[in-house]
Each structure stands twice: as structure tokens, then as C-alpha cells.
Amino acid sequence: MTLSANNNGEFEIRKEYAVIYNWKKGISLSFFRNEKNECIGADPDVLCKVKENDFECVELSFSHDDYFNRYHFTEGDTAEELYHYCRSLGLELWSIHLPFSEKWDLSRENAEEALGDFEELIKAASRADISVAVLHPSFEPVLPEERAQRMIYAKKNIKLLNEAAKDMGVVLALENLPRTCLGNCSKEMLDLLQSTDTKFIFDTNHSLLEENSSFLSFMIDQGYCPVSLHISDYDFSDERHELPGYGKNKWNEILDILKKAGYQGPALYEPALYHMSGEKIDLNEISQNVCDLLQGKIF
């Protein structure tokens, strides 16, 4: 706080803002779609705009079809070329979000195809010097009567995938999930992590059964500080992927917990295309929002 004179010669208190959370600015490339709602996140002009808006790192986050048939990410030198292009911009390829759907679900009994394709994506990610692979523990719905068996399948398959990821030098991180998905509470996340020797990524708009600060504090107390984040806000009734400050999250509590725990990853945003009000979200708006969050302006 500083004391300064206003135009009338009266003194007023002003709060000075500086970067108090010293994390890289990041964004999920899932945000970028064209007028036909097609994925364009890895297009060169989009990546240029990302860098122009002062982002330092990105997460590849596409559908299975986009990875394999639009960008051909696993073929030839595609991954290496993407790495060199981003490096020329001064942009880091931080993480890859593995696809998720009923077919690409490791909590199913017959997950051999999913395991094979996930390994191919992680192998390509390794060639692109990507540090983290993000995985959903399951798709949904998960019925109560099948939850225990789905956990068994998930643990078995995730452990196999994690062993492959380690061999390729990539960290496999499980993301906490909402609703009926596996990993929808801290104790279940802990069970999955301990059983598979994986790391943890925290999504700030997925916790529907516990308050975010409680969820995060529990995980950190158990030795699982997140290796990465998906940052967005919500109304506590369902995931919304709203910008911080437009929902109900207590950002000062969440970020202070992470800072105290020594969080080292980026402030990686995963926003929706539109505000809950229906207004379109702009990349410039996201960039400014990240700056405000890291400066402690959003509570």
C-alpha cells in the first residue's frame, strides 16, 4: 500500500500490484476454433497470435481425429516441426492433453486400442520436447454399481501407460474430474495416483463434491503438489470454463496454497469460447485476465 495525493490534493491509499505468482502464462489450444467449429489450435497463425498476446507456453488439446487425421501429429517429422516452429516464436510446448471419449477410456475392459494410440501420442510428444501428458482417468457416465470394477481397469491400464511414458521421458499426470467420472473426489484421486505412480494435474473448475481449497490442500498434504493446472472459474454446480473472476472460486486461497507448496508449473488457462452470459471470450481478454490473476488482482 502507498499513500499518494489525488488531483484535489487529498491523500488516498492505492494498492500497488506486482507479479506475486511467478508462473508462466499458458493456454490450452482447445480454445481455438474456426467459424465451422473446427480445431485450428496448432495452425501457425494461431500460434503467432498466442505469442503476440504474451503467452509463454501452450497445451496441445485436441480430439483423437484432430491429432491423427487433421494434424497427423504422430506421423513423420510433424512433432519435431511443430517443436521447432514454436521454439522460433519463443513458445514452449508444455503439455499434451490425451483425447477422451467413450472409446478412448482406460477404465474400460477392452482398452488396447486406446493404450496403443495414447502411447503413439506420447511418443510424438516426446519428440516435440513436451514435458507432461494429461489423462482423464475415465469418461462418463460411471454407474455406481460398476465404479469399483472401472477403478480396477483404470488402475491397470493407467499403470501400463505410465510405464511407457516414463520410458519416453514424459510425465503422465491424472486430472481430477467432475460428476460421475473417476477421480471426482480427493480420496479417489489419491487412490488412483498411488496405485499407478502417476502425477497430478489440478483443474480448478471440476471439483463438485469438495471445496477447491480443501481438495487441493488434501492432495498437497499427501505429497501430490500438481505438476500443472487447468485454470478456469465456475458456479460450483457444473464445470463452466469461465475466466477467473466471473465465477465463485476463491483465487487468493487457491493460488496461495499452490505458492506455499512450491508449485513450479505454468498458469495454464483452459477457457470456454463464451462467458456464461453468452458473450464471446477474446484472446486479448484472456491474456489480460492471466496478468490480473498473477498480480493478485482477482480474488
Give the model's pLDDT for residue 128. 98
What is d(CA 127, CA 169) in angstroms, rounded to the nearest whole number?
A: 10
Give the model's pLDDT for residue 19. 79
What is d(CA 182, CA 198) in angstroms, rounded to the nearest whole number?
A: 15
Determine, yes or no, domain membership for 17. no
Determine, yes or no, domain membership for 257. yes
The three three-digit cell numbers of residue 71, written as one number: 494434424
**Residue 39 DSSP one-character state:** B
Per-residue pLDDT of 91-121, as tens digits, reads 999 999 999 999 999 999 999 999 999 999 9
Structural domain span for residue 202: 23-294
- Tally the domains of the chain: 1
Diameter of the chain measured on Cα atoms: 74
Residues of the chain with pLDDT under 70: 1-17
Determine, yes or no, domain membership for 169. yes
Give the model's pLDDT for residue 260. 98
**Residue 278: Cβ-neighbour burial (10 angstroms; 0-12, 13-18, 19+):** exposed
SS3 245: coil
Determine, yes or no, domain membership for 207. yes
Determine, yes or no, domain membership for 1. no
Backbone angles phi, psi at 71, to 5 degrees: -100, -15
Per-residue pLDDT of 140-155, as tens digits, reads 999 999 999 999 999 9
Determine, yes or no, domain membership for 5. no
Give the model's pLDDT for residue 38. 97
Determine, yes or no, domain membership for 12. no
Q: Grid cell 460450483 — which residue?
A: 236
DSSP codes of every residue in 143-185: -GGGHHHHHHHHHHHHHHHHHHHHHTT-EEEEEP--TTSTT-S
Domain CATH for 35: 3.20.20.150
DSSP codes of every residue in 174-240: EEP--TTSTT-SHHHHHHHHHHHT-EEEEETT--SSS-HHHHHHHHHHTT---SEEEB-B--SSS--
Determine, yes or no, domain membership for 7. no
Which residues have CB under 8 Å from 197's CB, separation 6+?
159, 162
